[in-house]
Structures are given as C-alpha cells and as structure tokens.
Amino acid sequence: MIFVMRPFYFLLVVWICSFAVVNSQEEKLTSDQVMFFESKIRPVLADACYECHSNEGGRVKGGLALDTREAMLLGGDSGEVLIPGKPDESLLWIALSYTDPDYEMPPKNKLSPDIVADFRKWIEMGAPDPRVSETVVVKSEIDIEEGKKFWSFQKPVKPNTPKVKNADWPGSDLDHFILSKLEEQNLTPSSKADPETLNRRLYFDLTGLPPTPRQQDEFLSAWKTNPEEAIESTVDQLLASPQYGERWGRHWLDVARYAESTGKETNMTFPHAWRYRDYVIDSFNADKPYDHFLSQQIAGDLLPAKTDEIWQENLIATGFLAMGTKGLNQDNGRQFTMDVVDEQIDTMTQSVLGLTVACARCHDHKFDPIPTTDYYSLAGIFLSSTTYFGTIRNAQNKRPSDLLILPVPDPVGPQISDSELESLNDRLTSMRRELIQLRQDRNNAKGNAAADALRQSIRTLTQSQVLQARINGYYEDGTPKTFAMGLQQNDSPVEAAVLVRGEVDKPAQVVERGFVQVLQHAETPTIESSSGGRRELAKWITSKESPLTARVMVNRIWIHLFGKGLVDSPDNFGTTGQLPSHPELLDYLAVRFMENDWSVKSMIREIVLSNTYQMSSDFDSANYDQDPENKWLWRANPRRLNAESIRDAILAVSTSLDLDPPRASPIANVGDVRVGIRVNEEMINRPTTYRSVYLPVVRDMTPESLALFDFAEPDTVRGTRESTNVPSQALYMMNNPFVTTQAKLMAADLVKSHETSRDRILDAFRRCYGRAPTRSEVENTIEFFKTFNASSQPGSNRLATSYLSMATFCQGLISSAEFRYLY
Amino acid sequence: MSSGFGYLAFAALANEQARAQENPLAPKTGHFPARAKRIIYLSMRGAPSHVDTFDYKPQLTKDHGKAGKYGSTRGAMLLKSPWEFNQHGQSGLWISELFPELAKHADNLCLLKSMQTDQPNHPQATLQMHTGSFQFVRPSLGAWSLYGLGTENANLPGFVTLNPFGSAQNYGSAFLPAIYQGSKISGASRRQSGRNRDNALKIPNIKSENLNREQQRIYLDYVQSLNQSSLEKKVHQPGIEGVIESYELAFRMQDSLPEQVDLSGESEETLDLYGIGNNPTDAFGKQCLLARRFVEAGVRFVEITHSSGWDHHRNLKNDMEKNCSEIDLPIAGLLADLKRRDMLKDTLVIWAGEFGRTPHGQGGDGRDHNNKGFTTWMAGGGVKGGFNYGATDEHGYEAVENKMHIHDWHATILHLLGLDHEKLTYNYAGRDFRLTDVHGQVAKEILA
C-alpha cells in the first residue's frame, strides 16, 4: 500500500512503472563484434530462447522477447534484462549462469559453461547486436485544421434567442429555441401537464422517488394559489434534498462505469470502490461546480488542499480512473499497463469529451481527426502516474496493485486487539514455514506425492496471501487502515513511444505528453518536463474554451429530463455520432452552464422551470403523423422508470423504504476475494430496504432487480440506458418474493391506516400513480376483489383470503404499466 | 403503430379462429414457399478468424513472415495459420483441423467466404449483423422473421435468445410492435456443468409462491385492466403495449418454459451426441440441445451465443483451440440430431461472428479485426451443402469474388424463409422500412 502525502511538499517513493524508451540509433559495429554475435550469441538465442521468448515464435513469456535488439533492450515484466557492459547487473547473464534460484534459464537445462562465458564476454563488450530493425516512425495523414471545422470541435457561442410567432408560449429563452423549431416544422406544442402528472414527474426526475399522497396534496394546494410558485418551491425543495444526489449521482456512476469488482476472467472485488460512489453522491448534493468535480477526478491527488479532509476527498475522486475493468490474468506486464492506460483514456475521453479517442490506439482514428500520436501523447500522461486499485495476488491474479492509504481515518471494520493481530501474524508465519517445507517435499517426492505437495502449496500460498492482505489492513496497534483506489504521479514523468498497431513490442517514435490536437484551444496549458501532465490535462478539459466539456454534460442532463438527448449519441460527439437536433439550444445551454459556474443544479432548475419540460405527454395525431419520434419535442416523452426507481418506488409505496444511506457496501464487508464463492448470486440479491444506488455493483453479477430493468452494465461509459418490456420482467413482478413481500407490507399498512376499503383503494392508487383512480378503475378494482375472494380455496380462512386479496391488489398496482411509466 | 391488439387478442377473444385473425404472432405464409421454416443462429461473439477455420489460404502459409500489402496494415507481417487444412466429404470442402467433428458434416455446409461488414468494431458490427444498421435503432433479424411469419407455439416466445451478449438492440424490435422482440433467456450458469439435465437453464421467478393459477389469472386480469385503461387514456403507447404482451406471454411461459428446458427426457445417447456432461463441450452442448428443443416446439428463431469470446488479438493458438473444442462436437451433434429428425431440411443453421480477422499477425500469436473479408456458414434450410460461395484474396484479407455484404446476407436469409426482403416492410414515420434498407442481393447460387 501507499502512504500518500500532501501535494507540493512531499517526496513520494513509489516504484515507477517505467516504460522504457528504445534508442533505435544504430552504432557502428566492428566486424569482430558482428562475427562474435553471429557465431556465439545468435545461434544460442535462436536455439535455446526463442521458443518461449520471441514475437516470431509466438510466445513472449514474462513479457520478454529476445528476437530483436529493441525487444531485448526493452526487457520484460521483471524489468531490464540486458545492461550493456554490466553482466552482473544483467538479468540475462544471472539467469543463464544459474546464480539466482529464482531466475534460472533455460529452465532445467543449464547451458554449457563455455556458452555462459560467451554471454558474459558479449555483455562486457557492450552487447553489440547487429540485428537491425527499421527505425519506425508512425506518420499521420490527418489534416487537423480541416478536422477543426466539424461542429463539435468549435467552441460554443451563445446564439441569439430566436424569434417566434406564438410569443405567449415561451416562458424562458430555452422555450424560444424549442418553439421556433416547432413552428418551422408546423408543429404545435402540447398543453401544460396537469399538476399531478407534473409533480410526479418532478419527484422522479429530481429524486428518483414518487411523491407521497401528502406531498401531492401540498403541491396541489399550492398550485391552486399560484402554479409557478408551487413548481418553483417544489423544485428548490427537491434539489436541496439528499435524495437528489442519490438520483443524479447514479447518473454519473453510469458514465463513470462505477463497479466494485474488476470484471473479466478473474473478477476480483474492489472493496473500497464505495468511497468513490459516496463521493459522487455528496458532490451532486453539494452542487460542486462541474469543472472542479472533473478536476478532482482527473487530478485530485495533485490539487492543493488546505485541509486533510479536502485532500482526502481529492484522493478518493481519482478512483474514477482506477476502477475500470482489469484483465488480471495478463502474463505480460507491459501489456497490462498499456491496457489500463487505454481504459483510462477511453473512459475519460468518452465520458467528459464525448470522443472515442481510444480508437486511435492502433492507428489513426478512422473517422475523427485524431492521429494515433495524440493517443500516445495522452498515454504519456497516464504512464507518468501509477494506478492503485488493490486486489490480492493469486493464481489467476498476476497483476495486483497497492492501494492508497487515506490521511483521515475512516475505516470500515472494527479495531482488533494486539493479541488478535499477533495471532494473525503467527498464523502467517506458520503458513510460510509450511510453504518452505512443502517446497522441499516437492523436490524430494515423485509422481503423485509431488503433485499432492504442489496442490497443497498452491492452497497454502493462496491462504497466506489472503491472510497477508488482511494483516496489511491494520496498523501495528490493530487500528484498521483507511484505503481508497486512485492515482499517484510518479517521480519521473515519461514520454510514451507510439506503438505500431498498438503492439507493445513494436515501439516507434517517442511523443511528448500532450492533448488531443483538434481540441487545442486558447487556454491549452503546456506540460513542463517535470510534470506528469494530469494537472494540465484537467485544466485543459475544464477550461471554458474547451468546445466539448460543457456541451457533453448539458446533453447528459437533458437526457435525464427528456428521455433522449439533443445529441442522440451522448458518448460520441464525433463524426460518427448523431448531429444535434437543436444545435443553437445546445450551445445556449452549454454557455449558460459555464456562466453559472458549472452548477448542475442551476442547469436542471432552468430546464425544469421551462414550459418545454412542463408540457403534457398527450397524444396529438397531427403532430404525431409529422414527427412520430418527437424529435422536435411537441410533447413530453412518456418514459419508463429506470431500474433503481422501480425498486425504490416499490419500497416507497409499501412504506419500507429506508432513506438512511447504509455504511460502505456489502462488498467492503467481504473484502478482497474473487467473485464467485463468498460474493455470489444469493449475497448480491439479499433483500434490503435502502435505496438502490447502494446495492452492490459487481461486474457480471448485477442484482436481479436492476439487471432485469436495463441497468447500465458497468463495463464501459454508458450515457443512456435501454428501456425494454420483456416477459422476464413480467415474471419478476408476478412471482418474485421481493415484490410479493412488499405488496403484503403495503397491504398491511393500508389496512392499518384506513377503516374503509374505499379509502384503502384511494390511498393505494395515489401512492402508486400519484393520482386518484378513475371511476372505471374503481369498478374494476371492486370487481377484482369480488372475483378474487370468491376464488379462495374451500376451507381457507376468510381473513387470510381478504388479506391476500388486498396484497394481490397492491401487487397488481405495482405490476401495472403506469407504476413504471412517467407521463 | 397499431394499438392494443395484445390484450384484445389474448384476453378478450376466446375462439381460435378469431385469435388467428387478430393474433400478430399467428403463423403466416411468406411471399413465396419457404425453404427454411425456422432458424438456429449460432453467434460467435468476438469475431473468429476465418483464415484459421474455413478459409484455406495456402499462399498465406507460403508468404508467412513477409510484409503484407493491404491498406492501412501494409507492412504488417503475414502470419500463417498454425493449423492444417484438409478436404472433407464428397464435396472436398477445406476445413481446418480445429473442427474434426464438424468436418464430418462438410457436405451439409455452405461456406460463405466473401462476407463484408461496414465497421471493424465489435459493438457496431454486432449490431449491424443483427439489425442491418450500426448507427440507428432498427428491428433485429429475429424480429423481422417473427413479424413476417409469426410463430407456431403461442406458449413460448417466437424469438428466443439464450445468454445474449451486448446491447438489447441485437434482439430488439425497435419500431416494430414489441411483441416481435426476442425474449432473452439467461441463467444457464457457467459454473453449472455435469449432467444436471433438469437444470440446463435456471429460469428465475417462474412460479408463484403465493397464488394458485386461478388466483394468478384474476390478478393478471386486473393488471391488464389497469394497463388497458392507461392505453385508452394515452393513445400510441408502444411501451404499454409491450407491458401487456409481456404479461400474457409470461403467464403462459410459466408452464411451457420449465418443460422446455428440462432435459431429463433426453436419452444418454442424445446427451453424448451434444457432449453434455463432458468437458469442455458441456455448456455449449446444452445450448445447442436447447436450441433444437425450442425449434422443435415451434419457436421461429433461436439464437445461442458462445460465451468464451473470439477476440484473439493474442493467444490465438491456445484460445482458438480451446474455443473450437468447446463448440466442435456440440454443433456436429446438433446437425446430426436435426438430420435424423428430418428437420435439417427446413431448419436453417447459421454460424457467424461479427467480422473476421487479419491475415497478418499481432504480436506473433494473434490477429486483428477485419471487416473486409470473413467467413460465415449456413447448413440445412434449403442451402446447398458442401458448397463454397465467394472468395477472399490470396491471403484472406479482402473479399474479391461474389462479395456478400451483411445486407446481402440478410436478404438471403429472408429469402430462405420465404420472405422477399424488398416486400417485408413496416411503415413508420411516414416511410416503409426494410431490414436491408435500400440494399441487399439474394445469393441465388447458394439455394439448393
């Protein structure tokens, strides 16, 4: 683990994930040197080494290839193997000479002393290697200046408010933009939504929860006095409630592909990821300016921090870059590092800039003006930091990392006593002793006995690693440490070599750390040679000159209030993305967003107070015939609730919803494990009554209540969710014990709260639909009770049947379409 | 979009004939006689290499290690296939040694060796493979098939996708009525292996703990009355229609589905045929057998997805061998089983990934994405067996003969189902939409 220090006055000692840069200059070799290599060295390499260590042969064990001069100098996972002139420091000679039992090559087959001596001599000579590869320079054919002409690469400028014919309709500038397009298309805007519908829409959109009947009453009575004031005060109240951050924080978590495990083949837990989740929720509740929110996530560890608490928050924020999927079973360390960097570039550019920069990893971007050199300029920035994501080493996890230790203690588990810690340490010591013994057994035994010893050592080794991780979680006095995932800048920044076709063993020219050229702007900072560049990256992205940052975010906000974006491809504003339906409006909102100090709450407020947002979703055949997809927004889009809101609403109407956030996460309590045994389906789906945003988010094991209703799989940036209606959802509503239990609880509460069936029915409809039932709905309900009660099994208890009918009625409301739709 | 037929058809209309007229899933005849009545689509996500499986390239072997000459990958070193190819069957089709069992059915395979798609990226290409468009939300191939032909078993979804991967759009109905979308059935736990035949698929929430069937029907009638009242208030609500239909199908599936996925009636011999209970064929074997059971029960379109992934940028040698060993025997078993049940003649089996891979190597033991040329195959359902269609260049980089774009592939599949891809349209937003947009040529040469 890493004890992080406050920026600006620290010296952090971390090993550096160095990405060695190859010098492809050729020196002149003498003919003797060439002869020596060709006669003594090359044949041995080819004969004894290439089988496992060559690109041509197809195997690059330990990340080491020996078939080119460059690859040999590059080294492998264990670092450099050849230091010309210094055989004793060269792992190559150490391995060939069998002087270190951990590095003996070729395995089981020591080369003859003559050959080993030749290698020593060759290294002493300076390792002259005549094998020539071309000096590769990857060139780009992209015309950046031409590329800049594309709409989204130009800075948004606040447009003039367009004129409209129907001057009475607009209530705000925003409305002018919408109405002018509608008028152009000969469409007429829908009337204002009725107050019940509108209030329900506001509650769900701003907090993710339905209004209670009482909250509906309050709104309706305020509406009678003054509709505008009623809306405004409700909006302000909802934006100020802690439920707002839970709703809107979750939207960001979709974009940030937040998850509590690595995913992929090995799928190890991230027990500390929840700190990032809570940070996001708190940030939205505090209405943290979006530019600062981004700066923290990209470069929080490098921002000045007046207090430890601020510093702590900044560090947790960098978890954004650490919690991507990880292929932990990767043999090749350099490949793993480049994959982590790729994931960081991909997530950061898609989420914040709406650009798929990672497409330029192997070649110039096929569609956008992003040369592959831009990609490696960004890669240099991320390679100049180390990513701390945790996980523990085991047979399937070859790439664990340390974690950050936070400055302000906030541990999840309890303190343990000295003696407990001591006994843990004792157990570890005895396991280590056992391992040494087993190693000897293995060497002495043959056949089955040797295999048994091997199996036992693997078991013991795994157990000792789990135990070691546990012990590492405590200080010497038994106080648990407080960990987080995140990034730290390395002491020596590096520049990345462009990799030909993205292949880690095919380095071409080295490029300076930098940004995406087509998005250079007036305030693009320069990266000093001493700086890794993440701080500058954050400045570049959060500058008001940046053409995409504000546009992408206001479009995300728009999606969550209208069901679809002004740009329909929220994670792709490039040339293969969709063009904006209302480009002027998008720019207007982007500029407003920045003018209001990047306040998300102000942006939401401005939008929901518009007449555009407050339109009804009523159908109109003339409008529909012309614009069935409602591209021009002649009405509100009917929308299905997202998975979290469906589950939260079920808990809300049954009155069992617990609004207090739980501490940490079930994954934090389990700790570092591989998903499958202790983290399993049963555990993930264990019924709880807190809000859905706090359910465990394990990759490839999403809770059923979320997965069935189109939860955003956290493998990549997700700006939109799908909205399906399928039989598996119907089966869930019909038969799942969570639903039936909540329906029973709701029934019990209705019976307790009201004397008459009439009142119970009325209350149930208002809880579920935010409105009273229509006459025909009442009739159908009465009919339902009659039929259901008549159907009861002979001999069954009448009271039980009447309770079951009430519960089934509640389940019926919860199951119905209107419960999960927003009009 | 027409409104409300779901509930009307299922709940109000009792008699079969009326139901047949109104039920959008009732079996329909196509535009001309169908060669294939049903489809089993074996989806190989991640894009398997064609030059290591079905597209034999001796020149690639000869030029191994030389610099390639193709497009943006010019200069990359060509990589020969590590596997041998041999000729099989009377037809003498060249098939790689990776498929020893499947090769025994060479005379049933129609290799489409000149496939092309627009995008070399997985999500987009997968989407185009399924919907024709990589950009817009469009109905999937299965949805179009169901829309065109209905289904023969009202108690099961007409379009089933087992353990799908990726976007729901791949089996979605887009603007077609929601009833035509694929029903995703997942839950075949990867860890479940062995001959637990009654548990080949774990279907959650399939049984009510609370209500007997009569009570459940009363509950459901009530739910549908609420939905119906929403529908009346809010015209044109595809979402609500979708909910209505999903309940009716779910209600019927409670009985039919567990029965359908219960393999306990299958003989030991059949299980062996599919490699069920044995490593490494168990998981895919079960999916293949389930696919056969579904189409046998009258499901129109079944897609199964091989879970391991074929994106072999690295570890080509080991991972191809592993993947092929997982699917070789099960697919051979499926073909044999369909044959002996006399179902292969009108069941179209399709094997396809979203694109192919480059003839040049990546890191010496991998291949990159290639959308310019790749191979898929079909079997049964009215296609010529033991037949090669189209060809790539000498190294397998790009299709050069009888190019078959995804649109052509779709047109051909619809044709085999008896549907004219230019006539199978749906009017939406004032325009007639087709699976093939304005493209698509039926590959007549492959018709038996």
- Number of domains into which chain B is organized: 1
Tokens 């409301």, located at residue: A813
CA distances to A285, A560, A569, A647, B325 from A247, in Å? 10, 10, 22, 13, 47
Chain segment B323-375, per-residue pLDDT in tens = 999 999 999 999 999 999 999 999 999 999 999 999 998 878 899 899 999 99
B413-437 burial, b if ≥16 CB within 10 A, otherwise e?
Answer: bbbbbbbbbeebebeeeeeebbbbe
B chain contacts of residue A788, beta-carbon cutoff 8 Å: 215, 218-219
Residue B139 has pLDDT above 50, yes or no: yes
* Shortest alpha-carbon distance between residue B433 and chain A (Å): 14
A812: nearest Cα among B216, B95, B390 = B216
| Conformation bin of residue B77: beta by default, left when phi > 0, alpha when psi is -120 to 50 | beta
* Shortest alpha-carbon distance between residue A213 and chain B (Å): 20
A550: nearest Cα among A516, A599, A517, A610 = A599
| E strand intervals along A569-668 | 639-640
* SS3 of A141-209: CCCHHHHCCCHHHCCCCCCCCCCCCCCCCCCCHHHHHHHHHHHHCCCCCCCECCHHHHHHHHHHHHHCC
Question: What is the H or E stretch that residue B322 is in?
Answer: helix B316-340
Contact A390, A402 (CB under 8 A): yes
Does residue B257 fall inside a structural domain?
no
A472: nearest Cα among A460, A483, A485, A462 = A483
Does residue B379 fall inside a structural domain?
yes
Classify residue A163 by burial, with Cβ atoms within 10 Å: 0-12, 13-18, 19+: exposed
Q: Which of residues 221-260 of A touch B (CB under 8 A)?
A: none
What single string gives the DSSP state of each residue in B40-51? Answer: EEEEETT---ST
Q: Beta strand pairing status for A53-54 and B93-96?
A: unpaired
Q: Tell me the one-letter amino acid at B91.
A: S
How far apart (Å, rounded) are the C-alpha atoms in residues A407 and A718?
Answer: 32
How far apart (Å, rounded) are the C-alpha atoms in residues A789 and A785?
Answer: 6
Contact B316, A55 (CB under 8 A): no
Q: Bridge-partner residues for B350, per DSSP?
A: B41, B378
Does residue B415 fall inside a structural domain?
yes
Rg over alpha carbons for chain B, rounded to the nearest Å, is 22
Range of the domain at B127: 31-195+280-446
* Biggest distance spanned by C-alpha atoms of chain B: 73
Q: Which pTM value belongs to this model?
A: 0.85
Ranges in chain A, pLDDT < 50? 5, 7-26
Classify residue A794 by burial, with Cβ atoms within 10 Å: 0-12, 13-18, 19+: exposed
Chain segment B389-399, per-residue pLDDT in tens = 999 999 999 99
Q: Which of residues 579-638 of A touch B (CB under 8 A)?
A: 617-619, 624-626, 628-629, 638
Chain segment A376-397, per-residue pLDDT in tens = 999 999 999 999 999 998 888 9
How far apart (Å, rounded) are the C-alpha atoms in residues B87 and B75?
Answer: 32
Stretch B383-388: mean pLDDT: 97
The residue that leads in pLDDT, B121 or A371, is A371
Contact A521, A543 (CB under 8 A): yes
- Interchain contact, A816 vs B230, CB within 8 Å: yes
How far apart (Å, rounded) are the C-alpha atoms in residues A458 and A225?
Answer: 74
A603 CB neighbour count, 10 Å cutoff: 22
A644: nearest Cα among A266, A251, A360 = A251
- Interchain contact, A730 vs B240, CB within 8 Å: no
How far apart (Å, rounded) are the C-alpha atoms in residues A80 and A61?
Answer: 14
Does residue B231 fall inside a structural domain?
no
Angle at CA of residue B343, ends B337 and B349, nearest 5°: 80
B290: nearest Cα among B268, B270, B310, B269 = B270
Tokens 């040529």, located at residue: B441
pLDDT at residue A64 in the model: 82
Contact A712, A308 (CB under 8 A): no
Please give the torsion angle defined by the CA atoms of residues B331, B335, B341 and B344, in that order, rounded to the nearest 10 degrees.
130
pLDDT at residue A22 in the model: 35
Residue B42 has pLDDT above 60, yes or no: yes
Chain segment B389-432, per-residue pLDDT in tens = 999 999 999 999 999 999 999 999 999 999 999 999 998 877 88
In a 13 Å sphere around the CA of A600, the CA atoms on its Cβ side amount to: 32
How far apart (Å, rounded) are the C-alpha atoms in residues A118 and A124?
Answer: 10
The residue that leads in pLDDT, A619 or B308, is A619
- Interchain contact, A812 vs B226, CB within 8 Å: yes
Could you tell me the two tokens for A166?
């129907």
B399: nearest Cα among B21, B90, B55, B114 = B114
Mean pLDDT of chain B: 89
Residue B177 has pLDDT above 90, yes or no: no
Q: Say which of B183, B237, B365 has its CB closest to residue A58.
A: B365
Chain B interface includes A38 (CB < 8 A):
no
Q: Say which of B245, B251, B363 has its CB closest to residue A55.
A: B363
Q: Which of residues 242-281 of B touch A (CB under 8 A)?
A: 242-247, 249-251, 253-254
ipTM of the assembly? Answer: 0.86
Q: Which of residues 706-735 of A touch B (CB under 8 A)?
A: 710, 722-732, 734-735
Q: Tell me the one-letter amino acid at B189.
A: S
B403: nearest Cα among B439, B359, B353 = B439
Residue of A nearest to B360 (CA): A501
CATH of residue B67? 3.40.720.10
SS3 A60: strand
Contact A638, A328 (CB under 8 A): no
B416: nearest Cα among B424, B428, B426 = B424
Could you tell me the two tokens for B41?
């689509």
Does residue B242 fall inside a structural domain?
no
| E strand intervals along A335-384 | none
Could you tell me the two tokens for A599?
């306040």
Peptide bond into A106 cis (omega under 30): yes
| Conformation bin of residue A330: beta by default, left when phi > 0, alpha when psi is -120 to 50 | beta
Classify residue A526 by burial, with Cβ atoms within 10 Å: 0-12, 13-18, 19+: exposed
B298: nearest Cα among B10, B38, B18 = B38
Non-local (6+) Cβ contacts of A762 within 8 A are: A772, A773
How far apart (Å, rounded) are the C-alpha atoms in residues A68 and B208?
Answer: 66
Does residue B210 fall inside a structural domain?
no
pLDDT at residue A502 in the model: 86
Classify residue A477 by burial, with Cβ atoms within 10 Å: 0-12, 13-18, 19+: exposed
B chain contacts of residue A780, beta-carbon cutoff 8 Å: 222, 225-226, 229
Residue B120 has pLDDT above 80, yes or no: yes
Chain A interface includes B227 (CB < 8 A):
yes
B76: nearest Cα among A535, A269, A154, A503 = A503
How far apart (Å, rounded) are the C-alpha atoms in residues A680 and A698?
Answer: 10
Peptide bond into A727 cis (omega under 30): no
* Shortest alpha-carbon distance between residue B188 and chain A (Å): 13
Non-local (6+) Cβ contacts of B248 within 8 A are: B6, B7, B10, B11, B220, B224
Contact B260, B297 (CB under 8 A): yes
CA distances to A203, A208, A258, A564, A779 from A561, in Å? 11, 12, 22, 8, 35
Does residue B202 fall inside a structural domain?
no
What single string gives the DSSP state of each residue in B14-66? Answer: -SHHHHHHH-TTS----SS--S-SEEEEEEETT---STTTT---HHHHHTTTS
CA distances to B96, B97, B161, B357 from B318, in Å? 15, 14, 28, 16
Alpha helices in B132-237 (DSSP H): 141-149, 213-233
Does residue B38 fall inside a structural domain?
yes
Chain B interface includes A690 (CB < 8 A):
no
A chain contacts of residue B178, beta-carbon cutoff 8 Å: 725
* Shortest alpha-carbon distance between residue A375 and chain B (Å): 17
- Interchain contact, A55 vs B364, CB within 8 Å: yes
Non-local (6+) Cβ contacts of A759 within 8 A are: none
